[in-house]
């Protein structure tokens, strides 16, 4: 790995700011490395020219004597669900390809939808002088937990290329884990940042609902979606979150709560913090090696002066059922906009009426999992089933939220595993939708409650036989807008675990 791509974000930005490194040089190193690791399929689109032009602009800005931003020259990957003016946006779906008059382009990301505006988070990264190197692969429309639902092939896990990188923000995780970018953005609706971060051994943050603007994020489930950062170390993730957070007039759900000092919080003492351990997250189905790693990390927090006490989250087991009703209902409504009329794929012939155009376009453009969720969501909202499914799930959502409210009266944060299993092999779950949904069991409840969460590596699984060492994620959960506290705890865990670990192939 090139040395510059090994730096933390703060170190790299400082060197670009003081002129000892050129943004151009860093960007070229990232692009070279992306080219050399094409087999990982981390990117759907590499923004080579735009990235080099942005790097030159940053270098020119410095040459003029202007002050550079907090992410000066830092290569960042963007999940393909976020709109960018200088690169296509496809959500890894064929329905956002073949764009333009007469549908002349191909069904590939190169011919993807061209957004007329930048997502607010993208604009904020650019304003901080970050270099956007490309659009990261993902499960189609962020629906999946392995990256295998991408219409353009899955991303591979750099720790073992026969395994998935988790999902849905699979490419964003792989880009960072393999050192192709120093940070990336993903979106987390039910675990899509935390779970791939855990499976690829990096840091992933799901901010509180409302912390980060979703303007320009292609909507999946609007009462759950949040944008958040990935990075190799806790402090780097904190810096990205500081840049992208805050009220945005274009997103009425974005909060006016002041943005925290997340980076400074990484150096704060955690002594005296109360950590809750819910037994519901340590039962049947949890890989014993993961349980051991997570308990070890909790022990380290105790050594650092935290107190540890049991808490109860009794409705945890209903999280999956609740989520797959609420999220699919919202998705079925959000994805109605993909109709073949205003953008993307259109299937029509001389005899097509409008209904046939909709039906044929949508069936050809969406993949199997997206169709499954649209149908499920339509069903639970349809006459006769609305109360039994949708209304019921919304009520259970209240119970799940109350569990957390009660727990946070007694503790400052909750520590649990991010995923019950380490990175799984391709094909292991993809043909059984329910088995795939169960992979999200530990991340869904926090999404339903809208609270803050992150995943931090807590040592690889101890070797068993010839198995490769696979990363394990510790998930830290806190009340809404308690991100600072989570960064303090995660940084403590990282220091005590001996810092950042790299996959063998990177």
Partner 1 sequence: MAITRDNVLHVAKLARLELTEAEIDRMQSDLSGILDYVNQLSELDTSNVEATATVAVVAAPFRSDTPIPSLPHDLALKNAPRSSSDGFAVPAFVDE
- Read off the DSSP letter of residue 391: I
> Does the footprint of partner 1 cover residue 267 (CB under 8 A)?
no
User: In the beta sheet, which residues pair with residue 452?
Assistant: 478
User: Which two tokens mark 177?
Assistant: 């884990």
- Where does this chain touch partner 1 (CB under 8 A) — which range of 20-28, 197-205, 364-372, 460-468? 364-372
Q: Which of 12, 78, 99, 289 binds partner 1 (CB under 8 A)?
A: 99
**75 vs 112, beta carbon nearer partner 1:** 112
**103 vs 195, beta carbon nearer partner 1:** 103
What is the smallest separation between the CB atom of 307 and partner 1, expressed in angstroms?
A: 27
> Does the footprint of partner 1 cover residue 374 (CB under 8 A)?
yes
How does 308-347 read in b/e, with b if 16+ C-beta sit within 10 Å?
eeebebebbebbbebbbbbbbbbbbbbbeebbbeebbbbb
> Does the footprint of partner 1 cover residue 398 (CB under 8 A)?
yes
> Does the footprint of partner 1 cover residue 342 (CB under 8 A)?
yes
> Does the footprint of partner 1 cover residue 284 (CB under 8 A)?
no
Q: What part of residues 467-506 is at the interface with partner 1 (CB under 8 A)?
A: 480-481
Return the half-sphere exposure (C-beta side, CA atoms, 13 A cut-off) of residue 121.
30
Cβ contact 222:334 at 8 Å: yes
> Does the footprint of partner 1 cover residue 107 (CB under 8 A)?
no
> Does the footprint of partner 1 cover residue 413 (CB under 8 A)?
no
Say if residue 114 is exposed, middle or buried (CB neighbours under 10 Å; 0-12, 13-18, 19+). Answer: middle
- Where does this chain touch partner 1 (CB under 8 A) — which range of 38-46, 272-280, 315-323, 465-473? 315-323
The neighbour count for residue 144, using CB atoms within 10 Å, is 31
Strands 452-457 and 274-278, how do they pair?
unpaired
Q: What part of residues 204-233 is at the interface with partner 1 (CB under 8 A)?
A: 208-210, 223
> Does the footprint of partner 1 cover residue 395 (CB under 8 A)?
yes
Cβ contact 420:442 at 8 Å: yes
**Main-chain phi, psi angles of 475, to 5 degrees:** -100, 125
- Where does this chain touch partner 1 (CB under 8 A) — which range of 16-24, 302-310, 431-439, 469-477? 431-439
What is the smallest separation between the CB atom of 394 and partner 1, expressed in angstroms?
A: 4
- Read off the DSSP letter of residue 187: E
Q: Which of 268, 359, 496, 501 binds partner 1 (CB under 8 A)?
A: 359
**281 vs 358, beta carbon nearer partner 1:** 358
- Where does this chain touch partner 1 (CB under 8 A) — which range of 67-75, 172-180, 344-352, 467-475? 344-352
* 161 counts as catalytic: no
Secondary structure element (H or E) that encloses residue 206, with its range: strand 203-206
* 223 counts as catalytic: no
What is the smallest separation between the CB atom of 27 and partner 1, expressed in angstroms?
A: 28
* 155 counts as catalytic: no
Cβ contact 413:484 at 8 Å: no
> Does the footprint of partner 1 cover residue 386 (CB under 8 A)?
no
Q: What part of residues 43-62 is at the interface with partner 1 (CB under 8 A)?
A: none
Cα 52 to Cα 54: distance, rounded to the nearest angstrom: 5
Catalytic residue among 79, 94, 206, 235: 79
Q: What part of residues 58-87 is at the interface with partner 1 (CB under 8 A)?
A: none
> Does the footprint of partner 1 cover residue 274 (CB under 8 A)?
no
> Does the footprint of partner 1 cover residue 406 (CB under 8 A)?
no
Q: What is the DSSP string of 315-354?
A: TGGGHHHHHHHHHHHHHHHHGGG-SSSSSS-----TT--H
Question: Which residues are marked as active site?
Answer: 79, 168, 192
């Amino acid at each position: 790995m090139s040395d510059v791509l090994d730096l933390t974000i703060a170190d790299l930005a400082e060197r670009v700011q003081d002129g000892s490194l050129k943004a151009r040089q860093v960007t070229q190193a990232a692009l070279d490395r992306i080219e050399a690791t094409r087999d990982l399929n981390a990117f759907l689109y590499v923004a080579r020219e735009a990235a080099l032009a942005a790097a030159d602009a940053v270098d020119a800005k410095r040459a003029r004597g202007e002050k550079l931003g907090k992410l000066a020259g830092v290569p960042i990957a963007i999940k393909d669900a976020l709109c960018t003016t200088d690169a296509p946006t496809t959500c890894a779906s064929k329905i956002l390809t073949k764009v333009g008059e007469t549908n002349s382009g191909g069904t590939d990301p190169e011919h993807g939808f061209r957004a007329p505006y930048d997502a607010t988070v993208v604009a904020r990264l650019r304003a901080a002088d970050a270099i956007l190197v490309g659009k990261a692969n993902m499960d189609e429309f962020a629906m999946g937990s392995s990256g295998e639902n991408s219409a353009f092939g899955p991303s591979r896990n750099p720790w073992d290329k026969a395994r998935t990188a988790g999902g849905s923000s699979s490419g964003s995780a792989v880009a960072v884990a393999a050192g192709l970018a120093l940070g990336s953005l993903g979106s987390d609706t039910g675990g899509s940042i935390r779970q791939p971060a855990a499976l690829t051994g990096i840091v992933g943050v799901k901010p509180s609902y409302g912390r980060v603007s979703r303007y320009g994020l292609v909507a999946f489930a609007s009462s759950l979606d949040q944008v958040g950062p990935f990075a190799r170390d806790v402090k780097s993730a904190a810096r990205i979150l500081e840049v992208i957070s805050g009220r945005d007039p274009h997103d009425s759900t974005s909060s006016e709560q002041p943005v925290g000092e997340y980076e400074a919080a990484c150096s704060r003492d955690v002594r005296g913090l109360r950590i809750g351990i819910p037994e519901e997250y340590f039962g049947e189905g949890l890989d014993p090696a993961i349980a051991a790693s997570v308990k070890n990390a909790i022990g380290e927090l105790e050594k650092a002066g935290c107190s540890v006490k049991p808490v109860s989250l009794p409705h945890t087991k209903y999280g999956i059922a609740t989520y797959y009703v609420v999220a699919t209902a919202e998705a079925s409504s959000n994805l109605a906009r993909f109709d073949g009329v205003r953008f993307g794929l259109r299937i029509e012939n001389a005899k097509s009426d409008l209904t046939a155009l909709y039906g044929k376009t949508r069936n050809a453009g969406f993949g199997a999992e997206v169709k499954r969720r649209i149908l499920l969501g339509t069903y639970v909202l349809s006459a006769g089933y609305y109360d039994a499914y949708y209304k019921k799930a919304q009520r259970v959502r209240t119970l799940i939220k109350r569990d957390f409210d009660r727990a946070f009266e007694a503790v400052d944060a909750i520590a649990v595993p991010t995923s019950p299993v380490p990175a799984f092999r391709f094909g292991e779950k993809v043909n059984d939708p329910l088995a795939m949904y169960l992979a999200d069991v530990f991340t869904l409840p926090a999404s339903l409650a809208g609270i803050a969460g992150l995943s931090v590596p807590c040592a690889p699984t101890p070797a068993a036989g010839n198995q490769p060492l696979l990363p394990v994620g510790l998930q830290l959960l806190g009340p809404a807008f308690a991100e600072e506290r989570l960064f303090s705890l995660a940084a403590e865990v990282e220091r005590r675990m001996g810092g950042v670990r790299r996959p063998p192939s990177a």
